[in-house]
Structure 1
């Protein structure tokens, strides 16, 4: 993976009088403006930013204030900050290639300004601000040459007007709760997960709050409005997370830079298509990525929670992967207790004999989790990891699923990254489960194929409530969680697990396109796929899960979504309806290239929720296709150039 960074001087910095200094940074397309100002109307005091968005000539103040500052164990870098200077403005212009994700060719292009402040003790703190066409990113920097300190608090806080609509997930260490839609008097005050989605009162701008490029020099953070409902402050992990193991407040060694605070911004298609979280993150440390292969995975846990204990079930799912042209099958927990005809080595041989590569589950182990499922300790240290990876390579395993992290403290962030580093050296792909939301690591370590960090289809096993909440939840995730990185929801289930679906077969088929994941775990039992009609089964045999382009065609959080994704010269579309009423959608095909005819195979809801109807047609960029969706229904299709 190659990337080049070109830093070009440009002149987009405006500074008003010294008495009321205001620094502004514009996005390259001039639609986004970040302004930095002092509350005390001078050059010394408390500083904040505000963000505005210009939509077709109408300017909206999207975030009226973002408070800035850090409290270090030795000094305060918040209340009496003196403006020293604004560095020379730069144009960041970087192109890079992604191995998997929503787009293969990505661009990191922004206008950047570094603001230098000085506190009462004459020590420096910089604020680095970037304005992108699809958002804003900023971070703190201590440029000092030496010293180790504790960050006691980060004072970054986003002021969001009450009338702004928001979709947010209550904080939990596994990031596995539904999103709540709120505004005005319905706003709850508590701790919140990333990412958080907002829509301004005038509907002109959507924005998503997140963080990126978190590394072992800091902890993961969350948002809290517990002190004031309209102010979402950065908060460090709870001391009780991970069984109380590790410090909540991060320790930093100078020179130091914080993670990026990221605001993805624009209209709703801009937000959904954005790769900003990856764009601002560190480039790949893996030079040769040819061994990293995204693809669908057959998975036995959803239909049989103890399936991997049974050698014959493991073989059945290897056979399923072979029939469906999926490159992987996953051996989930209890593989070390496998019986009924074979053990791990036998299963690995059988899977490989079918031309399929096995993946395998591990408990993250350690004192941070009380889950006793074994093996517990084989990923815990560098020595045990390298030994286990070598053993797995000999048996033909291609990757590992590692579960139960339960903390985003600095110590745990280091553990995640150490796993990725050792796995990369062993050429092993990684899937994190029971984990944090993506922070841009898939760019730095493209062997990180996906994360769970979502309330997914596994919850059909856990609670009866998921049956009724799933349709709206499914139609919210493409605008929230899945924007910021791969999401293993374990989708496309037609039969029932412990609790039933109310989503249609068309809805479930569509999830293979609507949701993006470097490893897409197809969760149903073999007969769930074998009993499909030819068109639907053929679709699942060929649908990619690493994309060259992604477009939101239509949709609104919690109601419906229509997504188009391109692989090579072919396009795949998927749409779902979350409402308990039928609806018709007119799908505009203006995402297609000019002057080319495409053959469209469209698989829609049939007469009832467990049936399909298939249409074949020739279309081009100018066409609109009408699709009928049942209540909680859906459709999928693919377009190949003629």
Structure 2
């Protein structure tokens, strides 16, 4: 070793016992992470365009066999390296994605000499980090607590969804990520529910926006959330509650070594950054090897959303297959209790009938073991690999295209494994999957391309039950593109164009129509029935008959969480520009649609006499005026 190298090693060791600080920059140098080891504790902060968006925050974990949150000594750090990745995905806001980031690894050991690496990747749209235990051991190590925190400056505002307590709610079916977001609250406010706050969590910090989530959850870790209390605006990682497990399974993280944690993902920038970023899938594991020939995105009819349990019968299902065929929709969903209300033999007949009309069927299942008391069935058929493969083989041979699996029991490590084994077995049987009453997917749709969607939202179903949910819907829907639907497909089951029985809908018809593009879902289950569609003008029906279900590009146009959302999405040679107004006041918008200059389009908007009206919309300048009714919306198509 030469003198220069010896001095560098000596300096590094000296700093390990004192203070070490290293900056990691995004490729465009707009985002800076300051990693430090001080007083034998690892810390980090994040700045954007020279302003602090995350103050000094904690890093580390506590294993039952060792504390990795204190007594830390820096052993070495790698040089920054450029990481690049490219992938294609059908169920996202973009179909072809390139990810570029600067990566740096900090290698430490704790007071017992046990090693831990902290890996940072900083891209132009955010920061990601994860932990790695590099040593080898067949012994099972258990993490009792994660010390990771996110400390925000004073006056930070937040848009946060409370996490439901386990085994509460109807038939003890929580948690299922089905609360409303608390909007524009001061950071640091305690969650009204002790289980904490869910991801994605949105913050307006020091003039910029920050969205927190996680990715790369592979079954060796539980899913996490933010703890209910955040003193001094410091949010800490929280683990699931005790009941959130597959029967007899693990709750908190445990694994042999070596062991990688999931990524902690911090999207940073403007609202345009938040809504156009793909970090949630950029940091997910690449797609597993599977036959993808059966994977097709699309739209679906669904009788239960309006007609409820009594609609699950042979004749109504046949009518909804006809409805899907008439609308050129690819799927029809048959919901709970189909096994007794219709029966396997008649389901096979319906599958053949649907196939002749170029429609495929999706069947509902109850996931539940003993973690809730839901009576709906088929129930208990998917709890083991053997049971799943038997049932999946049976329905796949009947011509069924996919499964909707409902009422999961939480975020414990064993429950996460249950989700992933379902996806693996469904892929083997060439079945598409939609999870309901479920956790946030956290990028699983990249890893398992047969995952079309997941609920994990207080969706339109709740509007059909409760006037309060209907009253909240406009603000709720204009919050979701910045939060829940920012990275993961969301089965909100949108778009009721005519009426909801016994409920006064607060949104306009054009608002509802716009949701067909505003929300991202691999299969979009629409909340309209044939009788309602009969009242919809022919031009709007034509729009829905030709609507794409995979997007090549997305551009944020305008908006603010809970108040307004305007987006443009491209498919092929067509651009779809849509907007929804989350407030009960009319708005005149001046939109920058200059990227569509000299293009001619058709605008569908609200009308006083007939539900909708259609007018020509030509883009001839850098500012395009569009008026929105209170709680209204619009869609425009350009080619």
Which TM-score band (shorter chain)? over 0.9
Larger deviation: 507-516 or 387-396?
387-396
- Find the residue that maps to 2:348 and give its secondary structure: helix
2:47 is matched with which residue: 32, 49, 52?
52
- Find the residue that maps to 2:387 and give its secondary structure: helix
Map of 1:530 onto structure 2: 534
Check the 8 A contact 2:245/2:251 in 1, yes or no. no
Pairing of 1:149-188 with structure 2 (within 5 A): 149-172=141-164, 173-184=175-186, 187-188=189-190
Check the 8 A contact 1:302/1:458 in 2, yes or no. yes
Residue 229 of structure 1: how far off its partner (Å):
5.3
Q: Paired residues, what number?
A: 612
Map of 1:585 onto structure 2: 589
Structure 2 residue 382 is matched with structure 1 residue 379: yes
Larger deviation: 535-544 or 474-483?
535-544
Check the 8 A contact 2:188/2:231 in 1, yes or no. no
Map of 1:615 onto structure 2: 615
Pairing of 1:180-219 with structure 2 (within 5 A): 180-184=182-186, 187-189=189-191, 190=194, 191-201=196-206, 203=207, 205-219=208-222
Deviations 1:214-271 (A, max 9, x none): 1111100010142625121111100133598534322121000000000011110111
- The root-mean-square deviation of aligned C-alpha atoms, in Å, is 2.0
Q: Which 5+ residue runs of structure 2 have no aligned equivalent?
A: 1-10, 165-174
Residue 122 of structure 1: how far off its partner (Å):
1.0
- Find the residue that maps to 1:374 and give its secondary structure: coil
Deviations 1:555-595 (A, max 9, x none): 00000110110001210011011111111112221343xxx
Larger deviation: 496-505 or 442-451?
496-505
CA distance in 1, matches of 2:489, 2:187: 34
Check the 8 A contact 2:247/2:370 in 1, yes or no. no
With normalisation by structure 2, the TM-score equals: 0.92
Deviations 1:29-78 (A, max 9, x none): 111001111332xxxx1111000001xxxx11000022011110111111
Deviations 1:415-447 (A, max 9, x none): 100011111111111001010112111111011
Check the 8 A contact 2:220/2:253 in 1, yes or no. yes
CA distance in 2, matches of 1:482, 1:15: 43
Structure 2 residue 253 is matched with structure 1 residue 250: yes
CA distance in 2, matches of 1:429, 1:243: 22
- Find the residue that maps to 2:255 and give its secondary structure: strand
Residue 134 of structure 1: how far off its partner (Å):
0.6
Larger deviation: 449-458 or 525-534?
525-534
Map of 1:626 onto structure 2: 625
Q: Give the 3 Å change call, closer, same or farther, for CA 169–199 of structure 1 in structure 2.
A: same
- Find the residue that maps to 1:36 and give its secondary structure: strand
With normalisation by structure 1, the TM-score equals: 0.92
Check the 8 A contact 2:290/2:428 in 1, yes or no. no
Map of 2:25 onto structure 1: 26
Q: Give the 3 Å change call, closer, same or farther, for CA 183–227 of structure 1 in structure 2.
A: closer
Map of 1:276 onto structure 2: 279
Pairing of 1:458-473 with structure 2 (within 5 A): 458-473=461-476
Structure 2 residue 70 is matched with structure 1 residue 71: no
Residue 108 of structure 1: how far off its partner (Å):
1.9
Q: Give the 3 Å change call, closer, same or farther, for CA 434–421 of structure 1 in structure 2.
A: same
Residue 541 of structure 1: how far off its partner (Å):
1.0
CA distance in 2, matches of 1:633, 1:553: 17
CA distance in 2, matches of 1:117, 1:308: 60
- Find the residue that maps to 1:427 and give its secondary structure: coil
Check the 8 A contact 1:577/1:632 in 2, yes or no. yes
Check the 8 A contact 1:329/1:358 in 2, yes or no. yes
Q: Give the 3 Å change call, closer, same or farther, for CA 15–265 of structure 1 in structure 2.
A: farther
CA distance in 1, matches of 2:340, 2:459: 26
Deviations 1:480-539 (A, max 9, x none): 000021001000102214422110001000000111100100111112222211221111
Check the 8 A contact 1:325/1:542 in 2, yes or no. yes
- Find the residue that maps to 1:117 and give its secondary structure: strand
Check the 8 A contact 2:117/2:133 in 1, yes or no. yes
Map of 2:330 onto structure 1: 327
Check the 8 A contact 1:604/1:627 in 2, yes or no. no
CA distance in 2, matches of 1:389, 1:327: 20
Map of 2:130 onto structure 1: 139
Residue 365 of structure 1: how far off its partner (Å):
2.4
Larger deviation: 431-440 or 336-345?
336-345
